[in-house]
Amino acid sequence: MLVDYFKDYDLDTKNIDKYERYKKLILDYNQHTNLTRITEDDEFNVKHFLDCLSLLKTGKFNGCEKIIDIGTGAGFPGIPLKLYNERLDVTLLDSLRKRIDFLDGVIEDLGLENIRAIHARAEEIARTDEYREQFDLAVSRAVANLSTLTEYAMGFVKVGGYFISQKGPEYKEEIKNAKRAIEVMGGEVEDVIHTPLPNDIDHYIIMIKKVKATDKKFPRGGGKPRKAPL
């Protein structure tokens, strides 16, 4: 049960009912619109909720931080983090309208405030004044290499803020391959945190601190961050 996992990992259980409700909303919607391939209860609890909440180990989600979740999909990790700390200001970003419609429904159903779902492409709105370097933290569980994710994310982050990425055991190779992208986008790797999960799942959190403003020509448009990583 989810509550047992929360207790095992010393997580506050005050909003456990909302996590369970959120899970039900996902699985119901998933019957007609693909949100996740993970539908078995125990696997869902570990790979979605515990994995998202492992980000708390960074110590960066404890106050009223302004966060953007890029390529959020079903709302991961933004909504689990918001449920854990309701003071967070969260923007959920996704390029698919059906996902945004779902997220709007979740936000209303769970009665969440200071959270919104935006239908847009990261490489487009990261260049606008409304979103450019406006966030303390950028997070993403989108399936892409670290170089691509760094280019998508860093334009949103304030100088002094962080892009926080979750990766598997190959994280050292990912960091090596993303070295140029991290530098070009104004960042540096500050820390890597090992976050083992049940069932021998080995994950690592890469903390990239923004140390200087991002050049205005980034991120590149036309899908270039994915097609031709820096």
Taking the C-alpha atoms of residue 146 and residue 185, their distance in angstroms, rounded to an integer, is 12
The amino acid occupying position 209 is K
Any known ligand binding at 141?
A: yes
Helix ranges, 119-228 (H): 122-125, 146-154, 171-177, 179-184, 224-227
Distance of CA 55 to the CA centre of its chain: 9
* Residue partners of 183: CB distance under 8 A and separation at least 6: none
Any known ligand binding at 168?
A: no
Rounding to the nearest 10 degrees, give the CA dihedral for residues 194, 51, 123, 93. -150
Taking the C-alpha atoms of residue 156 and residue 90, their distance in angstroms, rounded to an integer, is 13
Any known ligand binding at 122?
A: yes
Taking the C-alpha atoms of residue 49 and residue 13, their distance in angstroms, rounded to an integer, is 12
How far, in Å, are 8, 69, 105, 128, 138 from residue 215 at the CA level? 44, 21, 36, 13, 17
For the sheet with 157-167, list strands across it: 115-119, 89-94, 66-70, 135-140, 157-167, 201-210, 187-197
Which residues is 193 bridged to in the sheet? 205
Q: Report the binding-site residues for S-adenosyl-L-methionine.
A: 71, 76, 122-123, 141
Q: Report the binding-site residues.
A: 71, 76, 122-123, 141
